């Protein structure tokens, strides 16, 4: 009896039917009222009690294996019939291919780049993994400056000289090291800061910074360049204002506000009823920075500026939570221009 059960088990395992009918025949042969299993159960009643335990297990195993096999076979045949059905009607209209959309950050970054290339700025690139010199020292950060604090910067544990750039000013240093003035570049790129993620801060974001060094470059040139940018980006009626600020690499330094493009400067909840939106930092390049890159400070002066792309995009589109840019939720992303 044991041998018969084993033979049947291997038959179940190897059974490959050619049709639904063969499966049904097989089911009746084994599981049917007059089938093999019924016979086995009849015989089982007559065997001695010491072998009953083992044989009982075997018969049950055979029953379960057969039921599972038949169910699996039926399912796979049914699903192959279904998929055959779906390709059958070739006159059905085709499903539309979904059209992707540009990511709002890419769109705004491109717009910023386009505005500055119209003014004759070139685009410069640099590494995201940097060294202390290019991110801090060459930019006149004193050794103990708080921006070097672990709070802001991601350092590499094994070598504190290697870090993730916290701003793309590091690219400007590389440009100054490798080129002679006149220099007119913008530096778009990803930057990293050890910040808690919230609606207004993220540990990864995008910047576009700019640098212009030549003979006789003045604060007035900077102001006019930034006004041009603001009017191109936020509308021809935009105004700018500058508030004194501090950056180690610029002197004097300023924070730039643009008149609120949503309320036209009257005051709304986006501009917190001030009529102004902060858009970037800027300043005249500190002579110490020029000296670090071997640029003659008697001959040359320059200005620099830097802005966050997410911030500009938030203001342009009225998005109030920065995290939306990183979550890849299609319901959000599909609201922006389609690529055609
Ligand atoms: N590097 C500054 C920042 O990341 C921005 C900046 C650039 C400010 C150039 C002034 C001049 O915040």
Distance CA 117, CA 103 (A): 21
Distance CA 258, CA 238 (A): 7
Question: Could you identify the atom of ligand 1 that is nearest to the CA of residue 307?
Answer: 5
Q: Separation of 265 CA from ligand 1 center, angstroms?
A: 25
Q: Separation of 313 CA from ligand 1 center, angstroms?
A: 18
Q: Could you tell me the pTM of the whole model?
A: 0.71
Residue range(s) occupied by CATH 3.30.930.10 in the chain = 104-333
Per-residue pLDDT of the chain (340 residues; tens, 9 = 90+): 888 888 888 888 888 887 888 888 888 888 888 888 888 888 888 888 877 888 888 888 888 888 888 888 888 877 776 666 666 677 877 777 777 788 999 999 999 999 999 999 999 999 999 999 999 999 999 888 876 775 588 888 899 899 999 999 999 999 999 999 999 999 999 999 998 898 888 999 999 999 999 999 999 999 999 999 999 999 999 999 999 999 999 999 999 999 998 888 788 877 889 999 999 999 999 999 999 999 999 999 999 999 999 999 988 888 888 899 999 898 898 888 755 4
pLDDT the model gives residue 33? 86
User: Between vectors from CA 115 to CA 110 and to CA 123, what angle results, nearest 5°?
Assistant: 65
Q: Separation of 181 CA from ligand 1 center, angstroms?
A: 20
291 closest CA partner among 169, 177, 167, 212: 177
Can you list the alpha helix ranges (DSSP code H) found in the chain? 2-14, 20-31, 36-46, 49-88, 104-118, 132-135, 169-178, 219-234, 287-292, 309-317, 330-333
Mind listing the pLDDT tens digit for each residue in 28-64? Answer: 888 888 888 888 888 888 888 877 888 888 888 888 8
Contact status, residue 123 vs residue 113, Cβ threshold 8 Å = yes
Contact status, residue 234 vs residue 289, Cβ threshold 8 Å = no
- 104-333 CATH: 3.30.930.10
pLDDT the model gives residue 340? 44
Name the residue of 138, 306, 310, 311 to mutate for ligand 1: max ligand atoms within 8 A of Cβ: 306
Contact status, residue 172 vs residue 185, Cβ threshold 8 Å = yes
234 closest CA partner among 116, 304, 315, 336: 315
3-state secondary structure (DSSP) of residue 253: strand
């Amino acid at each position: 009896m044991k041998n018969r059960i084993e033979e049947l088990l291997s038959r179940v395992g190897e059974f490959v039917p050619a049709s639904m009918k063969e499966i049904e025949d097989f089911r009746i042969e084994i599981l049917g009222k007059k089938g093999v299993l019924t016979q086995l159960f009849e015989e089982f009643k007559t065997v001695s009690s010491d072998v009953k335990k083992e044989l009982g297990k075997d018969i049950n195993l055979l029953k379960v294996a057969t039921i599972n096999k038949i169910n699996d076979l039926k399912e796979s045949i049914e699903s192959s019939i279904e998929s055959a059905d779906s390709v059958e009607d070739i006159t059905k209209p085709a499903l539309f291919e979904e059209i992707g959309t540009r990511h709002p950050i890419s769109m705004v970054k491109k717009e910023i780049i386009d505005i500055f290339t119209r003014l004759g700025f070139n685009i410069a690139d640099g590494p995201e993994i940097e060294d202390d010199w290019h991110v801090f020292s060459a930019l006149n950060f004193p050794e103990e400056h708080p921006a070097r604090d672990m709070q802001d910067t991601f350092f590499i544990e094994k070598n504190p000289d290697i870090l993730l750039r916290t701003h793309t000013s590091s690219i400007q240093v590389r440009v100054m090291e490798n080129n002679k003035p006149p220099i007119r570049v913008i530096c778009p790129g990803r930057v990293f800061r050890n910040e808690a993620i919230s609606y207004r801060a993220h540990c990864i974001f995008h910047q576009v910074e700019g640098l212009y060094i030549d003979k006789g470059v003045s604060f007035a040139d900077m102001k006019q360049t930034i006004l041009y940018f603001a009017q191109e980006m936020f509308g021809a009626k935009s105004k700018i204002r500058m508030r004194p600020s501090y950056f180690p690499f610029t002197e004097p330094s300023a924070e730039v506000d643009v008149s609120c493009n949503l309320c036209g400067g009257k005051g709304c909840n986006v501009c917190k009823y001030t009529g102004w939106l902060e858009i970037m930092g800027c300043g005249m390049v500190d002579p110490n920075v020029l000296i670090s890159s071997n640029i003659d400070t008697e001959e040359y002066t320059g200005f620099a500026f830097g802005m966050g792309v997410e911030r500009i995009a938030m203001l342009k589109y009225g998005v109030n939570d920065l995290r939306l840019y990183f979550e890849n939720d299609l319901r959000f992303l599909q609201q922006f221009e389609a690529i055609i």
